[in-house]
Amino acid sequence: MTAPSAAAGLALVPMTLGDVDAVHALECSVFPHPWSRANFSDSIQAGYDAWLLRSARGELAGYFVLMLVLDEAHLLDVAVAGERHGTGLGLHLLETVCARAKEMGAESVLLEVRPSNERALAVYRRFGFAEIGLRKGYYPAHEGRREDAIVMRHTV
Protein backbone atom coordinates (compact mmCIF):
# COMPACT_ATOMS: atom_id res chain seq x y z
CA MET A 1 0.00 0.00 0.00
CA THR A 2 2.92 2.37 0.66
CA ALA A 3 4.64 4.10 -2.24
CA PRO A 4 7.91 2.15 -2.72
CA SER A 5 10.14 5.13 -1.99
CA ALA A 6 8.03 6.66 0.82
CA ALA A 7 10.28 5.43 3.63
CA ALA A 8 13.50 4.99 1.66
CA GLY A 9 16.42 6.21 3.73
CA LEU A 10 14.33 6.49 6.89
CA ALA A 11 14.81 4.52 10.10
CA LEU A 12 12.12 3.68 12.63
CA VAL A 13 13.47 4.45 16.12
CA PRO A 14 11.82 4.59 19.55
CA MET A 15 10.83 8.07 20.74
CA THR A 16 12.70 9.18 23.87
CA LEU A 17 12.40 12.15 26.17
CA GLY A 18 15.35 13.68 24.29
CA ASP A 19 13.18 13.77 21.14
CA VAL A 20 10.29 15.72 22.66
CA ASP A 21 11.40 19.19 21.48
CA ALA A 22 11.82 18.05 17.86
CA VAL A 23 8.56 16.10 17.92
CA HIS A 24 6.70 19.03 19.45
CA ALA A 25 8.13 21.38 16.80
CA LEU A 26 6.88 19.08 14.01
CA GLU A 27 3.51 18.78 15.78
CA CYS A 28 3.19 22.58 15.95
CA SER A 29 4.09 22.91 12.27
CA VAL A 30 1.26 20.65 11.06
CA PHE A 31 -1.60 21.00 13.58
CA PRO A 32 -3.56 24.13 14.51
CA HIS A 33 -4.16 22.75 18.03
CA PRO A 34 -1.02 20.72 18.80
CA TRP A 35 -0.21 18.44 21.69
CA SER A 36 1.94 20.03 24.37
CA ARG A 37 5.49 18.92 25.18
CA ALA A 38 4.03 17.44 28.37
CA ASN A 39 1.62 15.27 26.34
CA PHE A 40 4.59 13.66 24.60
CA SER A 41 6.69 13.37 27.76
CA ASP A 42 3.80 11.85 29.68
CA SER A 43 3.12 9.35 26.88
CA ILE A 44 6.75 8.20 26.84
CA GLN A 45 6.89 7.96 30.62
CA ALA A 46 3.62 5.99 30.66
CA GLY A 47 5.23 3.43 28.36
CA TYR A 48 3.05 4.08 25.31
CA ASP A 49 4.40 2.77 22.02
CA ALA A 50 6.00 5.91 20.55
CA TRP A 51 8.16 5.84 17.42
CA LEU A 52 9.94 8.23 15.05
CA LEU A 53 10.93 8.07 11.42
CA ARG A 54 14.33 9.76 10.99
CA SER A 55 16.56 10.27 7.99
CA ALA A 56 20.22 9.24 8.03
CA ARG A 57 21.00 12.93 8.72
CA GLY A 58 18.71 12.84 11.77
CA GLU A 59 15.84 14.85 10.27
CA LEU A 60 12.45 13.99 11.73
CA ALA A 61 10.08 12.80 8.98
CA GLY A 62 7.19 11.60 11.14
CA TYR A 63 6.09 9.91 14.33
CA PHE A 64 3.25 8.15 16.09
CA VAL A 65 2.07 7.44 19.64
CA LEU A 66 0.05 4.27 20.22
CA MET A 67 -1.63 3.10 23.43
CA LEU A 68 -2.82 -0.46 24.02
CA VAL A 69 -6.07 -0.97 25.97
CA LEU A 70 -6.97 -4.65 26.31
CA ASP A 71 -7.26 -5.94 22.73
CA GLU A 72 -7.52 -2.54 21.07
CA ALA A 73 -4.76 -0.10 20.17
CA HIS A 74 -5.58 3.60 20.25
CA LEU A 75 -3.61 5.78 17.85
CA LEU A 76 -3.22 8.90 19.99
CA ASP A 77 -1.14 11.01 17.63
CA VAL A 78 0.48 10.63 14.22
CA ALA A 79 2.12 13.19 11.97
CA VAL A 80 4.23 13.52 8.85
CA ALA A 81 6.53 16.50 8.28
CA GLY A 82 4.86 19.01 5.98
CA GLU A 83 7.46 18.75 3.22
CA ARG A 84 6.76 14.99 3.05
CA HIS A 85 2.97 15.26 2.71
CA GLY A 86 1.69 13.47 -0.37
CA THR A 87 4.67 11.07 -0.61
CA GLY A 88 2.99 7.97 0.85
CA LEU A 89 4.72 8.36 4.19
CA GLY A 90 1.39 8.64 6.02
CA LEU A 91 0.34 5.25 4.64
CA HIS A 92 3.72 3.83 5.63
CA LEU A 93 3.24 5.09 9.19
CA LEU A 94 -0.24 3.52 9.32
CA GLU A 95 1.19 0.19 8.12
CA THR A 96 3.77 0.45 10.91
CA VAL A 97 1.11 1.38 13.48
CA CYS A 98 -1.00 -1.64 12.53
CA ALA A 99 2.00 -3.97 12.59
CA ARG A 100 3.00 -2.70 16.05
CA ALA A 101 -0.60 -3.03 17.28
CA LYS A 102 -0.77 -6.62 16.07
CA GLU A 103 2.58 -7.43 17.72
CA MET A 104 1.18 -6.08 21.00
CA GLY A 105 -1.87 -8.35 20.73
CA ALA A 106 -4.43 -5.83 19.51
CA GLU A 107 -7.25 -6.89 17.23
CA SER A 108 -7.95 -3.38 15.96
CA VAL A 109 -6.69 0.20 15.92
CA LEU A 110 -8.98 3.04 16.96
CA LEU A 111 -8.43 6.74 16.25
CA GLU A 112 -10.19 10.09 16.31
CA VAL A 113 -9.85 12.69 13.58
CA ARG A 114 -11.28 16.15 13.03
CA PRO A 115 -13.89 16.36 10.24
CA SER A 116 -11.99 19.47 9.06
CA ASN A 117 -8.78 17.43 8.59
CA GLU A 118 -9.71 16.29 5.11
CA ARG A 119 -6.17 15.18 4.21
CA ALA A 120 -5.97 12.82 7.19
CA LEU A 121 -9.50 11.51 6.59
CA ALA A 122 -8.58 10.67 3.00
CA VAL A 123 -5.43 8.81 4.12
CA TYR A 124 -7.30 6.86 6.81
CA ARG A 125 -10.08 5.90 4.40
CA ARG A 126 -7.58 4.91 1.72
CA PHE A 127 -5.82 2.69 4.25
CA GLY A 128 -9.11 1.00 5.16
CA PHE A 129 -10.19 2.67 8.41
CA ALA A 130 -13.99 2.70 8.79
CA GLU A 131 -16.02 5.39 10.50
CA ILE A 132 -17.71 3.93 13.58
CA GLY A 133 -18.91 6.96 15.52
CA LEU A 134 -18.75 10.62 16.40
CA ARG A 135 -17.54 12.30 19.58
CA LYS A 136 -19.36 15.64 19.92
CA GLY A 137 -17.20 18.61 20.94
CA TYR A 138 -14.09 16.44 21.35
CA TYR A 139 -11.42 18.82 20.04
CA PRO A 140 -10.62 22.42 20.95
CA ALA A 141 -11.20 24.79 18.05
CA HIS A 142 -10.76 28.50 17.35
CA GLU A 143 -12.16 31.15 19.67
CA GLY A 144 -13.02 28.72 22.46
CA ARG A 145 -15.24 26.59 20.28
CA ARG A 146 -15.17 22.80 20.04
CA GLU A 147 -14.99 20.48 17.03
CA ASP A 148 -16.41 16.98 16.80
CA ALA A 149 -14.20 13.93 16.23
CA ILE A 150 -14.90 11.16 13.77
CA VAL A 151 -14.05 7.83 15.39
CA MET A 152 -12.49 5.28 13.02
CA ARG A 153 -11.39 1.67 13.41
CA HIS A 154 -9.19 -0.69 11.42
CA THR A 155 -8.92 -4.44 12.06
CA VAL A 156 -5.32 -5.67 12.20
pLDDT at 95 over 90: yes
What pLDDT is attached to residue 1? Answer: 55
Q: How far apart, in Å, are the Cα atoms of 145 and each of 116, 137, 155?
A: 14, 8, 33
Give the pLDDT confidence score for residue 84 in this predicted structure: 94
Residue ranges and CATH numbers for the domains of the chain are: 10-155 (3.40.630.30)
Distance CA 131, CA 152 (A): 4
The DSSP string of 104-149 is: TT-SEEEEEE-TT-HHHHHHHHHHT-EEEEEEEEEEE-GGG-EEEE
Query: 99-125 pLDDT, tens per residue?
Result: 999 999 999 999 999 999 999 999 999
Model pLDDT, residue 60: 97
> What are the tens digits of pLDDT across the range 23-74?
999 999 999 899 999 999 999 999 999 999 999 899 999 999 999 999 999 9
Res 142: pLDDT: 82
C-alpha separations of 115 from 68, 98, 112, 136, 138 in Å: 24, 22, 9, 11, 11
With 0-12 / 13-18 / 19 or more C-beta atoms within 10 angstroms meaning exposed / middle / buried, residue 122 is exposed
In this structure, of 2-6, 18-22, 25-29, the range with the lowest mean pLDDT score is 2-6
Sort 31 into a burial class: Cβ within 10 Å, 0-12 / 13-18 / 19+.
middle
The span from the CA of 8 to the CA of 103, in Å, is 23
